[in-house]
Structure 1
Amino acid sequence: MTQVVPRAAQRTAEVAPEIVIPALEETSSPFSGAIGIQQVAAPARRHIPDTDLWVFPLALGAQRFGRTVDPRTAVDMLDRYREGGGNLIDTVDAVVAQRSEQLIGAWLRARHCRDDIVLATTVGGGSDFPGLTPANIVAGVDASLQRLGVDRLDLLFMRESAGVPVPLEESLGAIDALVQAGKVGYIAASGFSADRLIEARVLSANGLPRFRAVQSSYSLAERVPFEGSVSVSANAQGLAVFPSSPLNHGVLAGSTRGDGSIPASVASKLALHLNRRLRRIRSVVDRIATEHGVPSATIAIAWLLARRDVVAPVTGARSISELQSLMAAPRVTLTRSDMLDLDRVTL
């Protein structure tokens, strides 16, 4: 009898072409001169409460590595991120990130730096293993571990999929087994409502794993969804905050991205919206950036880092220059006047 293998499992089982990571080259680094790798005087790392994890205040989103970011550029970015003090790499258990995870795994082995890096990934939101059913959580984690070539994920974000409701107790039960098996270190919520965060806290009081962090869309251009009840619940539970989309799809960096990340229908509405509120926000961000002598993206990230409970915004870059702008943010101290001006234009 022929066994039928699910499509997702078939994709996971495919043998990827070998990824060759070039040796480190003594090339100029925008952070500290020649790549060594030799750690430079980097901004202080931030602690994720109730864990042993200390992370650089910017998570490198790597989902596009191997797709819109070619492999050689991705390796250069990983090297420079690490040399600049970066240690938090974020990916996802989805088909779009498979090449990314394979590349990251090859880079970790080539640089012998697994113990220096905090690996974070997300389960539940991808098309391969949608939703937080126990089976899909386990399959998603195992697939990521296999592609990364590691035996443990340091931080696992759980993201619920619309239309795939699962009792949270069942999901956390599956996570508990993964934690006990040593495959997952700590867990966090991604896109959870305040009510679901409270429900998770109640379940953790009964012995199930407890969230240590929360990821939510949060930026100067999109404050209200997070700063309401979600922020209150996160603060009450002592959760570290990891803002996603901190540049609002590139708008706060001075341009909308042309890499297909925004559907054409949405892009047209966004262009209309830019004529109003976002144009005013961008104008203030650009002015403050000029006063500090840094790119606008640096100011957008620096503002987030000044917010309560924020540990590390999660964002990707498409080039070394973009990465340089992002990693400069922890070194920028916004004045009280800067913060007041940004509050006025965004609230």
Structure 2
Amino acid sequence: MNVTLLVWIVTIAVTIAFFVYEFYAHVRKPHEPSIGEAARWSAFYIGLALLFGVGIGVVSGWTYGGEYYAGYLTEKALSIDNLFVFLIVMTGFAVPKIYQQKVLMIGIVIALVMRGAFIAVGAALIENFSWIFYLFGALLLFLAYRQAFAHGESDPANGRFMRLVRRFLPVSDEYDADKLTVVRNGRRLFTPMFLVIVAIGFVDLIFAVDSIPAIYGLTEEAYIVFTANAFALMGLRQLYFLIGGLLERLVYLAQGLAVILAFIGVKLLVHALHKNELPFVNGGEPITVIPEIPIWLSLLFIAATVTVATVASLLKTRRQEPAIKSGSDAGASR
């Protein structure tokens, strides 16, 4: 895939322009978006992402188009999981709803910057060290295990990292609109809003470690990696307000993502064997006994896994609702 410097510059400039527009058009004035507003903009960004994939397919070939769609779908699923943690953070810090847009916007921008840095590092490593695929594959298998069995056990708002931040920074007890610092009795203090941003940034760092090796397991093209991540993050703020309580109903999302990460981890290890140059593995010769997983199969597998996890989650929570409601009614009648 031949991507010129000009194309990179235009792509990054347009991405920045979208986020600047988002800030001035929607975030600068604090408010809670309506369902209609969130739905319209979510549909716009998802449609734009799908259209961009068609453009890649037409211009560069459908192999790259398939890689883009597989990467976009994977990053979108991981981003929704990211949203769930954002929800935990903002609930833990009791962020007023009218200021949640600003927190989400800053968090998404931090995520894009961090992922951009990881993309650049990942591209350099892949270019110079073929053995990095072994490392990426092993990392994804570990992350898949963690995702499946340790999800939701910690509270980012009150975890060890945030306790350390509170220990070294003077923090006020109350919000002051959306300000990050205030002056009290001649002393400058950080507001809880600043702590929220720090927590969101820390969460973004953790998720970047998950997402970048995952998408490099689907494509080695840095341009596809970047654009898939950018489009996955665009519209994420609106999606947060659109699906709202649905986030809590996606009880099998963690397991679905674990399956996807494990699948990509295996795909990476197989790819590493095909590119093998390690002298202590088969004398430094490639191992091609196991065929590589084609991108069309990856795309189908990822789409099917996301669909099954979502449907199974909604069915389970729907069955639980009558039991919860009857329990509430019984308690009220006593």
Normalising by the smaller structure, the TM-score range is: under 0.3
TM-score, normalised via structure 2 length: 0.20
In terms of fraction of residues, the more helix-rich structure is 2
Larger RCO: 1 or 2 (CA < 8 Å, sep 6+): 2
Higher CA-based Rg:
2
Report the TM-score when normalising by structure 1: 0.19
